[in-house]
Amino acid sequence: MSLTVYGTELNSRLLLGTSLYPSPKIMLDAIAASQCEVVTVSLRRESSTEKSGNAFWSLIRSANVRVLPNTAGCHSVKEAVTTAHMARELFDTPWVKLEVIGEDDTLQPDVFGLVEATRILIEDGFEVFPYTTDDLVVADRLLSAGCEVLMPWGAPIGSGRGLNNRYALTSMRAHFPDVPLIVDAGLGLPSHAADAMELGYDAILLNTAVAKAGDPVAMARAFAMGIEAGHLAHQSQPMPKRDMAAPSTPVFGTPFRD
């Protein structure tokens, strides 16, 4: 059940965010309960002061997981590229979850800036995980720029709406069958994650649905189970849908009824 991204093999298909938790302990307990191997960290959010930033980095290191720095809060190519370089220096990793926000109400990616920033960062040796829309043309541009993974949104960040456009996500899966696809943002329930995995997606990245749950630790475990169930369901080739009923009990040989 492993997933390989940029040459790194991951046994868990859940990537978990690290913001909004009620306490550091609950965050660490949720990470442990999810059994995830990758957590995302916002350099801009957590580095507001040197003292609190250092404490947070120490906390993340204690979780023994791989860090995927992100450029959350960046609204321009220059901001995103600068933040990515700072993150690489701090975490000593070429990985970056690239966000270039274009619209404040929906936090929809600025896909033009995203493609431009992707080209710059990949030329600089980064391994980019782009937070993008479900647009096929944009996806193709990102792959042409050098991305080896795509992260389309399910719905606006923090909305908990699930998969807003299943048709577009299904089309993306069909168009790029060999590219690792990770649904990023907008999921609110484990059933949403299972739905995405049943469509053939490779992993899920989320934060708010776990961090803002009444019991984040239990919700983290629930999402892990939902992702595993959805992936196994897709792998097992589900039965096709039918317009009419089909009896599960054979009728051949049964007595005739008046």
Give the catalytic positions in this structure: 97
d(Cα 25, Cα 30) in Å, to the nearest integer? 9
| DSSP string covering 176-221 | -TTS-BEEES---SHHHHHHHHHTT--EEEESHHHHTSSSHHHHHH
Residue with tokens 């998969």: 163
In 3D space, the residue among 75, 121, 73 whose CA is nearest the CA of residue 95 turns out to be: 121
Contact 230, 197 (CB under 8 A): yes
Total residue length of the chain: 258
Contact 118, 142 (CB under 8 A): yes
The letter for the amino acid at 140 is D
Q: What is the CA radius of gyration of the chain?
A: 20
Task: Identify the three-state secondary structure at position 247.
Answer: coil
d(Cα 95, Cα 89) in Å, to the nearest integer? 11
